[in-house]
Chains A and B, each alone.
Chain A
Amino acid sequence: MALKELSSLEKCLGLKKPNKYSTQGERKVPVLQNNNGPALVGLVTIASHLVHEAKRTELLGNSAEQRAVVQQWLEYRITRLDNCSKEEVKVILKELNQYLEDKVYLAGNSFTLADTLMYYGIHHIIMNLAVQEKEKFLNVTRWFDHIQHYPGVRHHLAPVVVLRNRVYPSGQH
């Protein structure tokens, strides 16, 4: 999973030469072998490294504050979202939904690495939501739809259909 993400991220960043990755441990943590030093371990670490390599550091945030927010959501992705239980999924969706209520992107007004990795990580969850649930987590759905259409992001993942109008408008029948 993580490896597909990283290769999509490479394409998304416009990196010409694809890197070779391996995984380690039970959790299949990605590892990047590096010619100029020791191997890099961990999805966020490698992803941030790729962003630097592509000279797209704005994707990690434009200010110290924004960089911290980006880091925070990257951490959220790997600690809370990855391998979370079924009950936890609902909590996460609820939290993100509230957080995204007044935001376009995870780190405010510009697109960052946090959006990309959160999108990759949450895709299988959104994919399996019923229409009613998508409506319930409207802000997440809106953000998700936005990110999946952000140029160059989607790559290895299937598009998820998002309906624009409500299926069960209130007060009818």
Chain B
Amino acid sequence: MKLFVSEGNPHCVKVLAGLEVTGVKCDVQLVSHEERVVPFLNRPVLPVLLLPSGQHLFSPNAICQYLFEVVGKEASDDGNQLLEWEATELQPAVLQALHMLMLQGKSGEAGTVLKGPLGWLEQYLSKRTTPFLTEETVAVADIVLWAALYPILSNSTFEAVVGELPSVRGWFKRVSQVPACEAAVQRVLQGKGLDALKNFLQKQPAPHIQRRDSPSSANATEMEDSELMMTEEEVEVAAQAWSKGLPDCSDSTQKKHPILPQEGKRNVLVTSALPYVNNVPHLGNIIGCVLSADVFARYGRLRGWNLLYVCGTDEYGTATENKAREEGLTPQEICDKYHAVHSSIYKWFQIDFDYFGRTTTEQQTEIAQDIFWRLHERGYLLEDVVEQLRCENCQRFLADRFVEGVCPHCKYPEARGDQCDKCGRLINAVELKEPQCKVCQQTPEIRSSKHLFLDLPKLEGELEQWLEKSMGSGDWTVNAKHITRSWLRDGLKPRCITRDLQWGTPVPHPDFSDKVFYVWFDAPIGYLSITANYTSEWEKWWKNPQQVELYNFMAKDNVPFHSVVFPCSLLGAQDNYTLVNNLVATEYLNYEDTKFSKSRGVGVFGDMAKDTGIPSDVWRFYLLYLRPEGQDSAFSWADMALKNNSELLNNLGNFINRAGMFVSKFFEGHVPEMVLQDEDKRLIAQVCWELKQYIQLLDKVRIRDALKCILNISRHGNQYIQVNEPWKKIKGGDDDRKRAGTVTGVSVNVACLLSAMLEPYMPTVSQTIRDQLQAPAHCARAMLYADRGFLCSLSAGHRIGTVSPLFQKLESEQIEALRKRFGGQQVPSSTVNSAQPKPPAAAAPAVNASVSAADPEKAKQLAAAVAKQVRTCAKCQIKNNPIIITIFPSTQ
């Protein structure tokens, strides 16, 4: 055991005194302040005790505690408490005071800093009956506190500023007289008094006791939001704006196709990454691309932007060929089949594309070949020879996914040609040991073949210039910027754009007539060709960067193709293409533990969502609620039930339903007269503020955060109803009845605003609310358009329709059944056949149970429960067992 100390370090007084008092045998080594004894600490820290086990103790208090324990003096609650107080309160104050006094010469301020802790200690000691802090004799707490206070209490400068402290001084004197303590002081300060500390203090980072910028602010801000302080003026302005009511709005909400850019309008082109056709899309795909883009597109239309949202299936490539072989169909048949599957899933999820197309069209060939020739003419294409695996038996070159073998890095026997599932490393297919053709199990040969490369290095300068402009002026998510920069930092390399396949866009160059374009080159061109299928005037969108603002939505794995590779193709083609202005990439939505893979078919698929009996709007809500914005998030069935029951049912649904019910029950379905009092105005102002936040956030595509604003409004609303108790006031006198009328009227108008704000997130619920309230059709647009704010859209006398509950409770048994049904599909082998898992037969009864939860009887019960305002316990003990979901690349 060895103790490292340094001269003039007050902390060393503690441990040396402790060593002397306990009489523990230990080598003491004197080192300089800068000596880094503990290897893992960032700064040199002393004293340090090297334990016999080789571990380092670098906390003086822990060292003292240890020394006392070695001689049989165990820690007590009392002692622990004093040590904790010393570490958290006294020590920072002492260091700050010393810093102020010795280095800045501010003795007065130094005294102020110490007042609190010393006062506390004085009080503590005055109540004790023992001569020392915890016992009749000197214990660990005495040594630690005494040593901490030594520089202060032994210095006459402090006497005047800290004031009379009889008990503290008495105790301090008693400890100072212990010979061990005297010796320790001598050893550290060398008789130089406090000046000995100067050198040490200069080496310390400036102490700052006032560290209130707690990083736990994530939760703190959420709580603060709800206690937002409003000035009188703000409240008055909001109330006046509200009272004006809806303007006459002649804006037609009907879309007129084809939508084309218009002069003087904000022209917004929205795309979501093209899902790969050969698989059923995942919940992960849905939230990462199409659903996120849909919310933004719906929002943009509400805001009155001239907006076009296009997407489609990405259909060419090896995976399609493979799937076709598997299912015994032609690639075209596979595409037709799965395109329909995709369409119907997105329809069920209410994705409101202006056009949902596909990449296997003539326009695709035309545009891709045009871009190719332009690149070729301008010298942006290179030729090179590539080594590839060829299966003689199958008579073709094997794409990465068609080869399996032993991983050259970790020896995993089932590594794929592009990546090893075990160690996660990327592999070059020709490096695989013992490669096998996945189709016929024969060993393929290495052959060389001539290919074309896009000369990215040549375009790098131009790309960087454009990126700087686009990132500077548009909204790029942090991950998108990060990934793009990391690509540029590593330097760009030429990228192969051709493939030895049949199923693809043919390369028009005669020397490469048997080849097609590689999907990464081809697929993003799909955005253009899909638009071309929508309208022959597609170039008004895609060759019009002056008028058009382009938003690309995707998961982060797709970022480089949209920020580096595709822009390079378009820049090189030099045809005034519209390049992306806003690149919105999500992180991954997945499961905490298990690794999962597309080829193993682990995950939840879009077509199964509707079989759960849970409405599409609830799915949308939950996926958007946990949209991986800024960080990964995980889907969990139990959490979905919790959010449904607590946020949708008890918060949002409860508020809207109560507001409507009060109008029906107490005012015969007519919105009552509203005479605003301060309290009502405050609510209106709060709602206005949340609405403003919502708009600001959605303008920046912070979809998840904006959803919280909606929930905040209904929380405010519930509180408002709860405090004002219209159901009681309605039975009271005239004034009370009027008050009940105002509260009900304001509430039902808040409900109407909520229907507008919900439109991008939950379109069906939004429409249902408006139907129930018989709200004017244009009210949603009116309030969001041009920042008009929260308006009284249901004026006194307006007749509402029939009000009924909007949401149903998700029972824990139902959720547990779903969790089992979707969670247990760990397919043992990695054969490609397993790409589309079927729920195990044994789970069938559970499915029925889940469907029956939606029956009318159940709905009636729920309605009753809502009416009675029965609150389900939000903390109900549902086992938290999330399911596996991921977002896979949609371009291969």
Which A residues are closer than 8 A to B by beta carbons? 1, 27, 29, 40-45, 48-49, 64-65, 67-69, 71-72, 75-76, 78-79, 83-86, 89, 91, 94-95, 98-99, 101, 108, 124-125, 127-132, 149, 159-166, 168-169, 171-173
* A68→B215 contact, CB < 8 A: no
Central interface residue in A68, A69, A76, by most chain B CB within 10 Å:
A68
The residue on A at minimum CB distance from B560 is A173
Instruction: Please give, as numbers and ranges, the residues of chain B lying within 8 Å of A149 by CB-CB distance.
Output: 593
- Kindly provide the distance from the CB of B542 to the nearest chain A CB, expressed in whole angstroms: 27
* A67→B69 contact, CB < 8 A: yes
Q: Mark contacts of B421-433 with chain A using CB atoms, 8 A cut-off: 1 yes-contact digit, 0 otherwise.
A: 0011110000000
* B632→A68 contact, CB < 8 A: no
* A45→B80 contact, CB < 8 A: yes
* B634→A159 contact, CB < 8 A: yes
Instruction: Please give, as numbers and ranges, the residues of chain B lying within 8 Å of A29 by CB-CB distance.
Output: 88
**What are the nearest 7 A-B pairs in CB distance?**
A165-B424, A68-B66, A98-B40, A72-B62, A42-B84, A99-B40, A45-B81
- Kindly provide the distance from the CB of A85 to the nearest chain B CB, expressed in whole angstroms: 6
Central interface residue in A41, A71, A130, A162, by most chain B CB within 10 Å:
A71
* A98→B493 contact, CB < 8 A: no
Instruction: Please give, as numbers and ranges, the residues of chain A lying within 8 Å of B83 by CB-CB distance.
Output: 75
The residue on B at minimum CB distance from A171 is B426
* B80→A44 contact, CB < 8 A: yes
* B595→A165 contact, CB < 8 A: yes
Q: Given the complex of chains A and B, what is the CA–CA distance between A108 and B51 in angstroms?
A: 13
* A79→B590 contact, CB < 8 A: no
Q: Given the complex of chains A and B, what is the CA–CA distance between A162 and B212 in angstroms?
A: 29
10 A–B contacts from the bound complex (CB under 8 Å): A41-B81, A48-B75, A48-B80, A68-B69, A85-B211, A95-B41, A129-B631, A149-B593, A164-B424, A169-B424
Given A75-B61, A84-B211, A124-B216, A130-B425 contact (CB < 8 Å)? no
Instruction: Please give, as numbers and ranges, the residues of chain A lying within 8 Å of B211 by CB-CB distance.
Output: 83-85
* A94→B42 contact, CB < 8 A: yes
Instruction: Please give, as numbers and ranges, the residues of chain A lying within 8 Å of B479 by CB-CB distance.
Output: 130
Q: B350 contacts the other chain (Cβ, under 8 Å)?
A: no
Q: B882 contacts the other chain (Cβ, under 8 Å)?
A: yes
Instruction: Please give, as numbers and ranges, the residues of chain B lying within 8 Å of A48 by CB-CB distance.
Output: 75, 77, 80
* B486→A161 contact, CB < 8 A: no
Instruction: Please give, as numbers and ranges, the residues of chain B lying within 8 Å of A171 by CB-CB distance.
Output: 426
Given A95-B41, A173-B493, A76-B77 contact (CB < 8 Å)? no
Instruction: Please give, as numbers and ranges, the residues of chain B lying within 8 Å of A27 by CB-CB distance.
Output: 88
Q: Given the complex of chains A and B, what is the CA–CA distance between A75 and B77 in angstroms?
A: 15
* A173→B81 contact, CB < 8 A: no
The residue on B at minimum CB distance from A99 is B40
Q: Given the complex of chains A and B, what is the CA–CA distance between A64 and B66 in angstroms?
A: 6
Q: B63 contacts the other chain (Cβ, under 8 Å)?
A: yes
Q: B55 contacts the other chain (Cβ, under 8 Å)?
A: yes
* A78→B88 contact, CB < 8 A: yes
Central interface residue in A65, A67, A99, A162, by most chain B CB within 10 Å:
A65
Central interface residue in B55, B84, B214, B560, by most chain A CB within 10 Å:
B84
Q: B58 contacts the other chain (Cβ, under 8 Å)?
A: yes
Instruction: Please give, as numbers and ranges, the residues of chain B lying within 8 Å of A101 by CB-CB distance.
Output: 40
- Kindly provide the distance from the CB of B727 to the nearest chain A CB, expressed in whole angstroms: 35
- Kindly provide the distance from the CB of B113 to the nearest chain A CB, expressed in whole angstroms: 14
* A161→B55 contact, CB < 8 A: no
- Kindly provide the distance from the CB of B886 to the nearest chain A CB, expressed in whole angstroms: 10
Q: Given the complex of chains A and B, what is the CA–CA distance between A11 and B424 in angstroms?
A: 38
Choice from B70, B80, B478, B591 contacting A64 with Cβ under 8 Å: B70
Please report which residues of chain B, range 599-634, place their CB below 8 angstroms from some CB of chain A when the two chains form the complex: 630-634
The residue on A at minimum CB distance from B421 is A165
- Kindly provide the distance from the CB of A70 to the nearest chain B CB, expressed in whole angstroms: 9
The residue on A at minimum CB distance from B595 is A164
- Kindly provide the distance from the CB of B416 to the nearest chain A CB, expressed in whole angstroms: 13
- Kindly provide the distance from the CB of B51 to the nearest chain A CB, expressed in whole angstroms: 5
Q: Given the complex of chains A and B, what is the CA–CA distance between A155 and B61 in angstroms?
A: 31
Given A41-B85, A68-B57, A169-B424, A84-B215 contact (CB < 8 Å)? yes
Given A159-B634, A165-B424, A91-B42 contact (CB < 8 Å)? yes
Choice from B61, B212, B882 contacting A83 with Cβ under 8 Å: B212
- Kindly provide the distance from the CB of A135 to the nearest chain B CB, expressed in whole angstroms: 11
Instruction: Please give, as numbers and ranges, the residues of chain A lying within 8 Å of B41 by CB-CB distance.
Output: 95
Please report which residues of chain B, range 34-54, place their CB below 8 angstroms from some CB of chain A when the two chains form the complex: 39-42, 51-53
- Kindly provide the distance from the CB of B56 to the nearest chain A CB, expressed in whole angstroms: 9
- Kindly provide the distance from the CB of B335 to the nearest chain A CB, expressed in whole angstroms: 29
* A40→B77 contact, CB < 8 A: yes
Instruction: Please give, as numbers and ranges, the residues of chain A lying within 8 Å of B248 by CB-CB distance.
Output: none
* A65→B51 contact, CB < 8 A: yes
Q: B263 contacts the other chain (Cβ, under 8 Å)?
A: no
Please report which residues of chain B, range 55-95, place their CB below 8 angstroms from some CB of chain A when the two chains form the complex: 55, 57-59, 61-63, 65-66, 69-70, 75, 77, 80-81, 83-85, 87-88, 91-92
Q: Given the complex of chains A and B, what is the CA–CA distance between A163 and B493 in angstroms?
A: 28
* B88→A79 contact, CB < 8 A: yes
* B84→A159 contact, CB < 8 A: no
* B880→A159 contact, CB < 8 A: yes
The residue on B at minimum CB distance from A72 is B62
Choice from B61, B426, B632, B633 contacting A169 with Cβ under 8 Å: B426
Q: Given the complex of chains A and B, what is the CA–CA distance between A42 and B141 in angstroms?
A: 15
* A125→B215 contact, CB < 8 A: yes
Q: B592 contacts the other chain (Cβ, under 8 Å)?
A: yes
Instruction: Please give, as numbers and ranges, the residues of chain B lying within 8 Å of A128 by CB-CB distance.
Output: 215, 218, 631
Q: B4 contacts the other chain (Cβ, under 8 Å)?
A: no
The residue on B at minimum CB distance from A43 is B84
* A69→B80 contact, CB < 8 A: no
Choice from B40, B63, B482, B493 contacting A68 with Cβ under 8 Å: B63
Instruction: Please give, as numbers and ranges, the residues of chain B lying within 8 Å of A42 by CB-CB distance.
Output: 80-81, 84-85, 88
Q: A41-B84, A86-B213, A99-B40 are in contact. List 6 more A-B contacts (CB 8 A).
A: A79-B88, A130-B479, A130-B482, A131-B588, A159-B882, A160-B592
* B88→A1 contact, CB < 8 A: no
Instruction: Please give, as numbers and ranges, the residues of chain B lying within 8 Å of A78 by CB-CB distance.
Output: 84, 87-88
Q: Given the complex of chains A and B, what is the CA–CA distance between A72 and B57 in angstroms?
A: 7
The residue on B at minimum CB distance from A48 is B80
Instruction: Please give, as numbers and ranges, the residues of chain A lying within 8 Å of B882 by CB-CB distance.
Output: 159
Instruction: Please give, as numbers and ranges, the residues of chain B lying within 8 Å of A64 by CB-CB distance.
Output: 66, 69-70
Please report which residues of chain B, range 203-244, place their CB below 8 angstroms from some CB of chain A when the two chains form the complex: 211-216, 218-219
Q: B490 contacts the other chain (Cβ, under 8 Å)?
A: yes
